[in-house]
Amino acid sequence: MPPTPDPVEDDLDTLPPPPPVFHAEQALLGALLLEPHRGAQIKGITAGAFSTAAHAALFAAIRSLPAPDPAQHSRNTAWLNQVLAAAGEQTRGLTTAYLHHLIQCCPQPRHAPAYARIIEEEHSRRLLRGAAHRLIQTTLDTSLPHRVATTLAEAGALTTVVDDIATRFPTRSGSLPRALATTPVTTRDEEAGEEEQLLLATATARPGSVERMRWLVPGDFTHPLHAGLWQCLTTLSRRGTPIDPVTVLWEAQCHDIAGTAEPRELLGLLSDPDGCDPDYWGEQILQRSLLTTAHHTGRRIEMLTDDPATTTYQLVVGARRALADLSAVRVRWHHATTPPQANAPAHNRISAPPRAGPPPTTAPPAVRIPR
């Protein structure tokens, strides 16, 4: 029989200890409560940067009240009472004893800017983690009517967060982020495999579409065999070699792409097109690749933020590297879904004036004026 928990036993010891930034928040608030004039040294931090509602309310109250005269503040607690009253309007549970506790938690009030910097760094980490998590959730939400557009919008918001962090924390020399063991999220399901087979068959039947679909690369495929066969198709197209199931099969054999697949099986795969345009199946494959890359990008950034040893500089570098992979797929998606006229470079349509020619060698004919 399992032991019955004692209701009298205090379970506070089971709670995880507060993170280091919590102590930095206490130290900063204690410095501002003890020496309010230190608030003029604190720049670029708001109440939203604090990890608890109580700390955020206290910081907002301190910011909203004018700093008292240092001499008077050392003799009475009138200003502290005003801070407590203003903070109490935003959250409950604050007491005078906690304000005195915060003052005792501050080792050196003159280090207030350093405490604020710590809080700002951790807040940036939380913002980056939240943006990455929203990107991940968007890639998984199949109920969205415009899933790709919404995913790219979240990726843009994530990029804005990274750029903002880089602005507030300028690049400096330092070690690069550690390589994290991440596993790319693939959607190697039956539907994806069928779409890839239909693309290969229709592209083999309509070779002219292969050269047009340069925006699709083997890495977009979920099955290695299908990726290899697409590589064969693009190679044959660029060489100008005739394309049909037999030539693709021979190219696959020359590059040892077929693997364990039987020749008859590959011929059947490449000889069963449907009535759809190959571009349609290519866009379906590229869309799946974009969503997969976006999901993997969000996971990489989220894992970086979960590692407490990753500095703010390393977060920016690692996040930008992850976003660069997604940006490359985004560019190819733009080329795939934009009409050719929009992708073509804009030319100046204003006709140039005619160039001056050599002077005439004969006199112009006389013009008769009717009488």
- Per residue in 232-288, pLDDT (tens digit) is 999 999 999 999 999 999 999 888 887 777 889 889 989 887 777 899 999 999 999
Judgement on whether residues 146 and 291 belong to the same structural domain of the protein: yes
Report the distance separating Cα 118 and Cα 19, nearest Å. 12
Query: What would the two tokens of residue 308 be?
Result: 């407490």
Return the amino acid letter for 142: T
Query: What would the two tokens of residue 90 be?
Result: 């935003």
344 in a structural domain: no
73 in a structural domain: yes
- Angle at Cα 316 formed by Cα 29 and Cα 163, nearest 5°? 85
Q: DSSP label at 4?
A: P
Q: Which of 79, 107, 135 is the last residue of a domain?
A: 107
Rounded (10°) CA dihedral 93, 96, 99, 101: -100
200 in a structural domain: yes
Rounded (10°) CA dihedral 193, 233, 279, 138: 50
Cβ atoms 129, 123 nearer than 8 A: no
Domain extent for 29: 18-107
Q: What is the 3-state secondary structure (H, E, C) of 320-367?
A: HHHHHHHHHHHHHHHHHHCCHHHHCCCCCCCCCCCCCCCCCCCCCCCC
Judgement on whether residues 154 and 292 belong to the same structural domain of the protein: yes
Judgement on whether residues 95 and 224 belong to the same structural domain of the protein: no
370 in a structural domain: no
Q: Which of 80, 107, 134 is the last residue of a domain?
A: 107
Report the distance separating Cα 70 and Cα 6, nearest Å. 51
Judgement on whether residues 126 and 250 belong to the same structural domain of the protein: yes
| pTM for the model | 0.80
9 in a structural domain: no
> How far is CA 242 from each of CA 84, 234, 245, 268, 342, rounded to the nearest angstrom?
82, 12, 10, 18, 31
Query: Comparing C-alpha atoms, which of 284, 274, 263, 266 is closest to residue 202?
Result: 274
Judgement on whether residues 88 and 152 belong to the same structural domain of the protein: no
Judgement on whether residues 202 and 296 belong to the same structural domain of the protein: yes
Q: DSSP label at 55?
A: H
Return the amino acid letter for 252: A
Query: Comparing C-alpha atoms, which of 166, 165, 169, 132 is closest to residue 151?
Result: 132
Judgement on whether residues 94 and 127 belong to the same structural domain of the protein: no
Residue 358: per-residue pLDDT: 46
Q: Calculate helix-pair angle for 278-306, 147-168, nearest 10 degrees.
A: 40
- Residue 229 host element (H or E): helix 224-239
Judgement on whether residues 271 and 317 belong to the same structural domain of the protein: yes
The CATH number that applies at residue 140 is 1.10.860.10
On the 0-12 / 13-18 / 19+ scale of CB atoms within 10 A, 5 is exposed
Cβ atoms 38, 106 nearer than 8 A: no
Cβ atoms 114, 28 nearer than 8 A: no
Q: Which of 64, 83, 107 is the last residue of a domain?
A: 107
Which segments in the chain show pLDDT lower than 70? Answer: 1-14, 171-188, 340-371
On the 0-12 / 13-18 / 19+ scale of CB atoms within 10 A, 68 is middle
Judgement on whether residues 24 and 84 belong to the same structural domain of the protein: yes
Count of residues in the chain:
371
Judgement on whether residues 88 and 136 belong to the same structural domain of the protein: no
Residue 274: per-residue pLDDT: 74
- In the numeric block, the tokens 């006709």 are attached to 351
| pLDDT tens digits for range 60-92 | 999 999 999 988 998 899 999 999 999 999 988
350 in a structural domain: no
257 in a structural domain: yes
44 in a structural domain: yes
> How far is CA 89 from each of CA 82, 86, 225, 340, rounded to the nearest angstrom?
11, 6, 65, 60
Judgement on whether residues 139 and 220 belong to the same structural domain of the protein: yes
Number of structural domains, the chain?
Answer: 2
Judgement on whether residues 95 and 135 belong to the same structural domain of the protein: no
